[in-house]
């Protein structure tokens, strides 16, 4: 019997649910059984302000997907986004245990645990670590090529680690809202990471790229290099800001501004140049935030695969061109037809997070975040599963 998983993406404006089952051929993407869609209530910039309203929205979307798939949903994988998501970096060292100085699977978790202990207090205060991603290992100060240091010889092993964190209250509120809807949360996953499984190709992740998810009130990015995520950032601005600018600049109701943004022809005639100027000014400001972050991490103009756009806001006609102009990088809008979702009925990139969560669930992605493993053998097995998700 094939395994069936559910992914729930709780956005500021919409809740999207995908129910999928594992394909007979493991090389093929999961087969989608049903999808659900409901208006979000009780959120602002991805942060929960009313658990009860969010729970009702989740329940409505799940009920729709469940009816389409003819499957009762009891458990689900949950995407975490919003302004509460952040990153922290730390370095840890550990002495190699074996007398012959060979690095084993007992040494790696010691080094990763040591890196967590060196995190700044602000990275822990009121925050929960969602993912722990080893970026680079060194043995006696010499950088390890190829990822794993196991089998090498030395006295000291070091690791540079990326910790993806989220506000603890946001995590607990989102889990509570989901459980109030009668659904057990199997795992929580950072939304930009989940989207990357279906919006990016292995080639793009390997050579280096940035995935930008343009939501209603947030812009989230995840930067990949050498097939691994090396940075994640959420900005408190999204496609709704474009609507607001059009409403104010043209003195029209927000409903008309939203239609105009989507390319609708309204009864009143508005100067095309003024509309284009208002849109391009706001979108350029959004991508300047991305540019500033890439400069901060030393990757501006250094990502050969460029920027890939997804999310509801990426559908604007000029979005890709403006991203290319501001960032001076190749730019394209993600198409699920070009990625792991090639043989599914999802053609809209705004579903990337929900579908990516099902990919995560079916490939045991949740096992990578074991912070307090029951044994070192379990830890290294889980760590290897995490690495395999980003290898070519």
Question: What's the confidence (pLDDT) of residue 43?
Answer: 87
Within 10 A of 97 (CB to CB), how many other CB atoms are there?
13
Asked if residue 283 and residue 190 are part of one domain, the reply reads no
The domain that holds 356 is classified in CATH as: 3.30.420.40
Asked if residue 191 and residue 47 are part of one domain, the reply reads yes
Asked if residue 261 and residue 296 are part of one domain, the reply reads yes
d(CA 223, CA 297): 10
Give residue-wise pLDDT tens across range 304-330. 999 999 988 888 888 999 999 999 999
User: Which residues are bridge partners to 193 per DSSP?
Assistant: none
Report the domain count for the chain. 3
Asked if residue 92 and residue 79 are part of one domain, the reply reads no
Give residue-wise pLDDT tens across range 223-255. 999 989 999 999 999 999 999 999 999 999 999
Sheet holding 31-39, edge to edge: 31-39, 14-21, 4-10, 75-80, 184-190
The domain that holds 378 is classified in CATH as: 3.30.1490
Mean pLDDT of the chain: 86
Pair 163, 119: CB distance under 8 Å: yes
More confident residue, 324 or 23: 324
Which string of DSSP letters, residue by residue, matches 259-298? HHHTT---SS---HHHHHHHHHHHHHHHHHHHHHHHHHTT
Asked if residue 384 and residue 283 are part of one domain, the reply reads no
Q: Quote the domain boundaries for residue 70.
A: 4-83+169-197+343-366
Give residue-wise pLDDT tens across range 255-268. 988 888 887 666 56
More confident residue, 271 or 377: 271
Residue 291 in domain? yes
Residue 176 phi/psi, 5-degree rounding, is -60, -40
Residue 338 in domain? no
Question: What's the confidence (pLDDT) of residue 285?
Answer: 96
Mean pLDDT value of segment 188-192: 94
Question: What's the confidence (pLDDT) of residue 138?
Answer: 93
Pair 8, 20: CB distance under 8 Å: no
| C-alpha dihedral (55, 56, 62, 67), degrees to nearest 10 | 150
CA-based nearest residue to 181, from 66, 332, 21: 66
Per the listing, tokens 């998700």 go with 389
Q: How confident is the model at residue 176 (pLDDT cuts 50, 70, 90)?
A: very high
Angle, in degrees to the nearest 10, between helices 376-388 and 107-117: 80
d(CA 62, CA 346): 17
Give residue-wise pLDDT tens across range 115-174. 999 999 988 899 999 999 999 999 998 999 877 888 899 999 999 999 999 999 999 999
Asked if residue 242 and residue 329 are part of one domain, the reply reads yes
Give residue-wise pLDDT tens across range 356-366. 999 999 886 53
């Amino acid at each position: 019997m094939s395994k069936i998983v559910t992914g729930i993406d709780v956005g500021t404006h919409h809740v999207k649910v995908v129910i999928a089952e594992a394909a007979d051929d493991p090389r093929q993407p999961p087969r989608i059984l049903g999808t659900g869609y409901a208006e979000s209530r009780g959120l602002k910039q991805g942060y929960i302000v009313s658990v009860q309203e969010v729970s009702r929205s989740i329940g409505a979307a799940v009920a729709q997907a469940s009816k389409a798939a003819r499957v009762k949903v009891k458990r689900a994988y949950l995407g975490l986004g919003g302004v509460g998501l952040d990153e922290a970096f730390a370095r840890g060292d550990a002495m190699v245990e074996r007398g012959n100085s060979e690095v084993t699977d007992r040494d790696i978790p010691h080094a990763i645990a040591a890196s967590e202990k060196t995190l700044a207090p602000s990275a822990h205060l009121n925050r929960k670590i969602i993912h722990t991603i080893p970026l680079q290992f060194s043995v006696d100060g010499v950088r390890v090529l190829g990822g794993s240091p196991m089998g090498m010889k030395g006295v000291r092993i070091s690791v540079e680690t990326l910790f993806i964190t989220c506000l603890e209250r946001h995590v607990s509120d989102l889990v509570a809202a989901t459980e109030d809807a009668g659904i057990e949360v199997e795992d929580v996953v950072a939304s930009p990471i989940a989207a990357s499984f279906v919006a990016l190709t292995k080639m793009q992740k390997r050579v280096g790229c940035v995935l930008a998810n343009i939501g209603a009130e947030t812009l989230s990015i995840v930067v990949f290099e050498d097939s691994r995520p090396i940075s994640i950032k959420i900005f408190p601005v999204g496609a709704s800001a474009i609507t607001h600018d059009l409403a104010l600049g043209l003195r029209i109701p927000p409903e008309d501004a939203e239609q105009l943004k989507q390319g609708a022809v309204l009864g009143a005639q508005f100067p095309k140049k003024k509309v284009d100027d208002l849109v391009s000014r706001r979108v350029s400001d959004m991508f300047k935030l991305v540019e500033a972050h890439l400069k901060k991490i030393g990757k501006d103009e250094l990502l050969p695969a460029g920027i890939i756009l997804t999310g509801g806001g990426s559908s604007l006609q000029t979005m890709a061109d403006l991203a290319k102009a501001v960032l001076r990088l190749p730019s394209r809008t993600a198409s699920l037809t070009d990625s792991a979702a090639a043989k599914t009925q999802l053609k809209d990139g705004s579903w990337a997070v929900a579908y990516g969560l099902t990919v995560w669930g079916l490939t045991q992605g949740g096992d990578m975040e074991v912070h307090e493993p029951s044994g070192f053998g379990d830890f290294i097995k889980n760590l290897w599963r995490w690495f395999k998700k980003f290898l070519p």
